[in-house]
Amino acid sequence: MNNPTAKASIEKLETYKPNFGKSKISNLIRLSANEGALGTSLNAIKALNSFTHNLNRYPPQVSDDLINAIANRYSLDYKKIILGNGSDELISIITQAFLEPTDEAIYTEFGFLQFPQAISVSGAKGVVARDVNFTANVDNILSKINTKTKLIFLANANNPTGTFISKEEVIRLHKSIPSNILLVYDAAYSEFIINNDYIDGSSLVDKHDNVIMLRTFSKLHGLASLRLGWGYCSEYILSNLMKVRGPFSVNTAAMLAGIAALEDIQFQENSVAHNLEWMPWFEKELKLLKLDFQTSVTNFLLIKFPDEIFNNAQSAVKFLAERGILVRGMDAYGLPNYLRVSIGNEEENITFIKQLKSFLDN
C-alpha cells in the first residue's frame, strides 16, 4: 500500500531552521536572532499582565484598534494595513496568493532565507540575483526579469548582511519593473535606520499598486515571541492575502501588546539611541581585533573571519556557545566563514567582545 506523499515541491525541501544556537549554560547571552537589545516596552508588559480574562474567546479576525494605532504612528492609510503572525506569515501567504507553479520569483543572493523557502513551498521557481559587495544590486535584479517573473523579494535593509540600497536605487528598481510584477519590500529593520537616503517603502505603496511593504514588531518593539508583523499594500493585494491568511492568525495578546508598544515612543527612541551608540563601539572593537565586517544600518553585524584559519567562524560560534554566548553561524547562507551578531545590552556586548578576543588569542 502506498503512503500519502507530500507535494513534490515540499518533499525535496529542508525544514527552515532558525538556529538560534545551543549551550548548556543556563544564563545565556542571546545575540543570534536580531532581537531588540532592551527587552520589551513596560507598556506592552503591563498590557499583557492585565490580559487575564476572555482567554476562551477567539481574537477578532482583524484588529481595527491595532491597525489604527499603526496608521497613526506611521501616518499611513489604515485601509492598506494587513496584520500577520509575524512578517514570516505574510511572506508565506504572499507567495501562496500570488505564485503559480509556472511563475518565477526573484530574491537576492544573501537575502533573508525565508524568501527562497516560501517561494519553494509555493511550487514556483526561485531565481537568485547576485549581490555586489554583500548589497542587493538593482541591475542584477533587473537582468533576471523575464515574462515568467511574478514577484521580487527585497529586504531593505537586508538580513544577514545589514546593508541597504538607497532611496534612488529603490525608486529606479520600481520604475524599471513592469506593473504586473509585485515588489515585496521587507523593511523589518527600518525603525533603526536614520540615513536620509533610506526609504521604508510606504511612499511607493501609496503611489503604486504593485508594492507591498513588510514590517515587524519582533525587532525594535521587542515582541518577537508574540509573533506580530504587518504589511502595507493596495486593497486588492490585501483582500487576496486575507483569503489565504488564517482567520485568527494574530492572537489577542499580540494585538494588545502591539498597541501598547506603539504608544511607548520613549522605549522606541531609547532602542534606536542604544543601537546608534553601540554600533560604532562594535565597529571600533572589531577593527581592533582585525576582523572584517559589513557596515550595517541594522541592529546586527555580519563578521568575517580570516580565511587562513580553517573553520574559524564555526569554531568561534562553538567557543562562544560554550561560554554562554549565542551568535548565528552563516553556513545556511553559504558563508561558513562568517558569523552574525546582534547588538545586545551593554553587559552582553562587552562580554561578547571579551570572549571573541579570547577566542582569537587562543
Ligand X SMILES: Cc1ncc(COP(=O)(O)O)c(C=O)c1O
- Segment interacting with ligand X, rule: CB under 6 A, options 51-59, 64-72, 82-90, 128-136: 82-90
Q: Shortest approach of ligand X to residue 33 CB, angstroms?
A: 7
- Residue 34 or 137: the one with the smaller Cβ distance to ligand X is 34
Q: Whose Cβ is closer to ligand X: residue 169's or residue 186's?
A: 186
Residues of this chain, 192-231, that bind ligand X according to CB under 6 A: 216, 218, 224, 229
Report the nearest approach of ligand X to the CB of residue 112 (Å): 4
CA angle 203, 205, 210 (to 5 degrees): 145
Q: Which of residues 105-124 bind ligand X (CB under 6 A)?
A: 112
Near ligand X by CB under 6 A: residue from 86, 162, 201, 222 = 86
| Under 8 Å between Cβ of 47 and 343 | no
Residue from 69, 105, 119, 155 binding ligand X (CB under 6 A):
155
Over the Cα atoms of the chain, what is R_g? 21
| CA 355 – CA 362 distance, rounded (Å) | 11
Size of the site for ligand X (CB under 6 A): 13
Q: How far is the CB of 160 from ligand X (least distance, A)?
A: 8
Peptide bond into 18 cis (omega under 30): no
> Measured between alpha carbons, how far is 175 from 173 in angstroms, rounded to an integer?
6
Binding of ligand X by 131 (CB under 6 A): no
With CB under 6 A as the contact rule, the residue among 29, 31, 32, 34 that binds ligand X is 34
Burial 336-355 (b: 16+ CB within 10 A, else e): ebbbbbbbbeeebbebbbeb
Q: How far is the CB of 27 from ligand X (least distance, A)?
A: 24
Query: In angstroms, what is the minimal distance from the CB of 256 to ligand X?
Result: 17
> Is residue 87 within the footprint of ligand X (CB under 6 A)?
yes
Q: Rule CB under 6 A: say whether 162 interacts with ligand X.
A: no
Whole-angstrom distance, CA of residue 84 vs CA of residue 88: 8
DSSP string, 19-69: -----S-SS-EE-SS---TT---HHHHHHHHT--S-TTSPPPSS-HHHHHH
Question: Which of 136, 359 has the CB closer to ligand X?
Answer: 136
Distance, in Å, from the CA atom of 303 to the CA atom of 94, rounded to the nearest integer, reads: 32
CB nearer ligand X, residue 127 or residue 157: 157
d(CA 215, CA 321): 30
What residue number has its CB nearest to ligand X?
86
Q: Which long-range contacts (CB under 8 A, 24 or more apart) does 310-315 make?
A: 311/336, 312/337, 313/337, 313/338, 313/339, 315/359
Residues at the interface with ligand X (CB under 6 A): 34, 86-88, 112, 155, 159, 186, 188, 216, 218, 224, 229
